[in-house]
Structure 1
Amino acid sequence: MPDTTDADGLTVGQVSARVGVTVRALHHWDEIGLARPSLRTAVGYRLYTAGDLERLHRIVVYRELGLGLDRIGAVLDDPAADVPGALRAQREQVTERIDRLQQLGAGLDRMIDAHERGLLLTAEQQAAMFGPRWNPDWPAQARRRYGDTKQWQQYAERSAARGPEEWQVVADEVADLDRALGDAMDTGVEPGSPEAHRLVERHREVFASYFPLTRQMQVCLARRYEADPGFAAHYDGIRTGLAAWFRRIVDADARAHGIDPDTATWQ
């Protein structure tokens, strides 16, 4: 216990400095009967004794252990109180809290990693899921281009919540869409046709696995699919000319919804 010698007659300010709690807390503890000064001056000011100071130190210790003030009062004032039992119960709560904080810390680490890397899969896992045409550098390129946007934040939040199994579902949906696009181009589906509109809508739904995609954003994305050599090679590897055809069906769908694809912006 701290040294409480020469402690009789201490004012609330002096006790506050010695014990390390605020004057306001001392007044509150006095009001609720948890720690009342034992002495009074001739004019009625309350003063703390060495015994009061020792009780205050014990209150501070129990409070730091997480006990509530009511429980502390019972432990200090009830001769039959099971102090070890109360401390064991508190220890269990502390252990549970530590476990929750460790889980929170792991979640924060994963979220940080997702914001910095995007896709939380190894290059080998990406190739196995998304196929040999997938470029594992694409997430890093997207981070450099879009890392300060709302969409990247949404993508990172989704990525942090997914493991390999969840990403496999996304990969399968993307592969099915790619096949459907290639088959539609082969069969001569025309831009602006009902089937083309359905494919464009399906693309927006599948892409929502990464972040919500507006029609204007979809126009910008289709333009990038055609212009960027990496993306163009991916889609043209499925069907020659697929990147350009996909842009045409997206542009036609945008016009059908009152959007000029020539002036569409990322919004």
Structure 2
Amino acid sequence: MDGYTVGDLARLSGVSVRTLHHYDSVGLLTPRSRSAGNHRIYSDADAGRLRQILLYRELEFGLDEIAAILAEPDTATDGHLRRQHRLLRERRDRIDTLLDAVEREMGARRAGIALSAAEQLEIFGTARFAESLAGVEDRWDEPMASADLQRRAVAYTAADWREIKAEAEANIREFAEAIAAGEPPTGAVAMAAAERHRAHLSRWFFACGPGQHRKVAETYVADPAAAADWNDVAPGFAGYVHSAILANADRLDAP
């Protein structure tokens, strides 16, 4: 016997016999012939049509929509494949966007920031400060520093974060004023600002010795987009802070 019985096609396609019967009853997939005993016999063309149906079902099209698509004149297999390829790429992009959002939220929860989105917006000007902090943490390769940050951050109140922000902004101004005054990044003024930066991190986030501070310095220049944002504070800000931190770390490590 040429062709596939309904059981054969069910096994090949992974769908149930009941589903194939339903597709036949609604006219979506009617077998090309019947056996002498009036059993459904599906051809290779029927199997190909089922493959198209299942791909569109995977893309969450309704049966009526699929029937209309497959009934379009002058749409050969290549046309369906191109359409499905485009739809699958769009679906993948949507999934990637959702995954990114979920991963950011996971990172924010891992960081343990005890602030609502409204509080984050009020204090930091963004409702995603916790996600940003978790992203910085992910760039470090020091497990102890990350664990320390998580342990401390979960206990901070909104008042604590306001104080942290005020200290950080004062330190940023200190660097910017040093740049404006023409102070060299390896000079005493810049190194004093770098030391206050290190003390701020040690006080609020993690034990930050000279070695760890050097790794923090790299975050200012490693990402061109982030460096560009820092350079909006003052021309060359990212590189200046990087150099000042390294100079101060060398000073602290000197015998």
The two structures have a TM-score, normalised by structure 2, of: 0.50
Which residue, 225, 229, 239 being the options, matches 2:224?
Answer: 229
Name the structure 2 match of 1:173. 167
Q: Deviations over 1:200-241 (max 9, x none)?
A: 110011112111111111112112211223532342121121
Work out the CA distance in 1 between the residues paired with 2:151 and 2:134: 16
Secondary structure (helix, strand or coil) at the match of 2:232 reads: helix
Name the structure 1 match of 2:248. 253
Report matched runs for 1:90-239 at 5 Å.
116-131=110-125, 137-146=131-140, 149-208=143-202, 209-239=204-234
How has the CA–CA distance of structure 1 residues 192 and 145 changed in structure 2, closer, same or farther, with 3 Å as cutoff?
A: closer
Number of residue equivalences: 147
Work out the CA distance in 2 between the residues paired with 1:233 and 1:127: 23
Q: Would you say the 8 A contact 2:149–2:205 is kept in 1?
A: yes
- Segments of 5+ residues of structure 1 without an aligned counterpart are 1-111, 260-267
Q: Would you say the 8 A contact 1:117–1:139 is kept in 2?
A: yes
Q: Would you say the 8 A contact 1:197–1:253 is kept in 2?
A: yes
Q: Would you say the 8 A contact 1:116–1:143 is kept in 2?
A: no
Aligned amino acid, residue 224 of structure 1: T
How has the CA–CA distance of structure 1 residues 212 and 251 changed in structure 2, closer, same or farther, with 3 Å as cutoff?
A: same
Secondary structure (helix, strand or coil) at the match of 1:137 reads: helix
More helix by share: 2
Report matched runs for 1:44-83 at 5 Å.
none
Name the structure 1 match of 2:239. 244
- Segments of 5+ residues of structure 2 without an aligned counterpart are 1-105
Work out the CA distance in 1 between the residues paired with 2:174 and 2:253: 26
Work out the CA distance in 2 between the residues paired with 1:226 and 1:241: 10
Work out the CA distance in 2 between the residues paired with 1:161 and 1:124: 18
Work out the CA distance in 2 between the residues paired with 1:249 and 1:166: 27
How has the CA–CA distance of structure 1 residues 243 and 123 changed in structure 2, closer, same or farther, with 3 Å as cutoff?
A: farther
Work out the CA distance in 2 between the residues paired with 1:179 and 1:241: 14
How has the CA–CA distance of structure 1 residues 165 and 252 changed in structure 2, closer, same or farther, with 3 Å as cutoff?
A: same
Q: Which has the larger radius of gyration?
A: 1
Work out the CA distance in 2 between the residues paired with 1:223 and 1:148: 14
Secondary structure (helix, strand or coil) at the match of 1:238 reads: coil
How far apart are 1:143 and its partner, in Å? Answer: 4.6
Moved more, 220-229 or 158-167: 220-229
Q: Would you say the 8 A contact 1:191–1:248 is kept in 2?
A: yes
How has the CA–CA distance of structure 1 residues 145 and 252 changed in structure 2, closer, same or farther, with 3 Å as cutoff?
A: closer
Work out the CA distance in 2 between the residues paired with 1:147 and 1:194: 30
- Calculate percent identity across the aligned residue pairs: 23
Work out the CA distance in 2 between the residues paired with 1:147 and 1:222: 14
